[in-house]
Amino acid sequence: MKNKIIYLDNASTTKVYPEVVNEMNKYLLIDYGNPGSPNKMGEDALKVINECRKKIANELGCKDKEIIFTSGVTESNNLALYGIVNANKDKSKNKILISKIEHSSIYEPAMELKNKGYVVKEISVNTNGLLNIDELEKEVDDKTLIVSIIHGNNEIGVLQNLSKMGKLCKKKGVIFHADCAQSFGKVKIKAKDFGIDILSACAHKIHGPKGVGLLFIREGIEIKHLMLGGGQEKGMRPGTENVAGIAGFTKAFEIIAKIDKNKIKDLRDYFMEELEMIGGKINGSKEERLYNNVNVCFNGFDADEIVLKLSLKGVICSSRSACLSKQMGENRVLSAIGLNEKDINGSLRFVLSEFNKKKDIDEVIFELSKLVKV
């Protein structure tokens, strides 16, 4: 495997499609005007952004004006949570509900709000990683301001039933936010049909550029901006828009919608079977799962050591979310589904893409089997 790279860290980031690079280059090298400038180049740039907004809104089943572009899901999630809290005029509504397996860009703001006096409840998940709907329904009351749930988990890939949660929140008159960083473009999502009020997504999980994302805000939902500036993106996200990034995001979204997802799912299932053959135990539901995610535990082994040794062989994977790797703290997600310390320390994440082939998986199994021999 010398000089060959088998990239299986696609939950962290993805290889950008060449077509996306070509699309972005048009707005980096030729049509590079500022969308806020009162000249033809500026007007052309603004037109590009609005066309992209329209294309994405059409796929989400919402209005163009309900989409704002951001720098990514971390910004979108922070804007969703803090924006709702800061706009809240009914001080009796001081309760925030999240799941126990949220991404850090929801969990950490929620904990900060808890320190400021908000009541934050973490809804449990079962051993498969699926949210306890009965518990959620019990906790949603007239004091609840917002429910924020991750759709496709960034570590174990488990998919939650957004439609069921959305209908529950709508019935109770509570704002529902969905973090769709991992699922956007991979799973068909119709925001309003699902009862979603606010939705976060980004480009670099679907072979688009890093540093660009979006926030869907349903018309009628009041969110207070976090920054002041030039009033761009309806004042929600001031600053010169990333035209090339937005164009690249939209192009990536168009391309990934057309790929054969079942082919990747079949390869994922084959991979899981092979991992179990060499002693691995799959973390999270095998059925309610993103088509490209595999999270596996080799109890008693050091996952960080395995990740390093595999990378030296050209296999790129991870042992935790990229957003947690620098913190090296407790793994909340794996703890929430009941894994003990040994299980957690021995857990690896492999996330496939359309660029992976069966021979790649066979090579990974060959190298991994040498590292997890008892």
Q: Are 105 and 74 spatial neighbours (Cβ–Cβ below 8 Å)?
A: yes
Q: What's the rounded Cα separation, in Å, for the pair 335 and 323?
A: 17
Candidates 329, 251, 321; CA nearest to 9 is 321
Catalytic residue among 62, 169, 180, 323: 323
DSSP 29: I
- Mutual angle of helices 358-371 and 303-312, in 10-degree steps: 130
Q: Tokens 């709702």 label which residue?
A: 84
Q: Tell me the two tokens of residue 14.
A: 């993805």
Candidates 220, 350, 360, 202; CA nearest to 290 is 350
323 in catalytic set:
yes
Q: What's the rounded Cα separation, in Å, for the pair 110 and 104?
A: 9
Q: How many other CB atoms sit within 10 Å of the CB of residue 123?
A: 24
Residues serving a catalytic function are 323
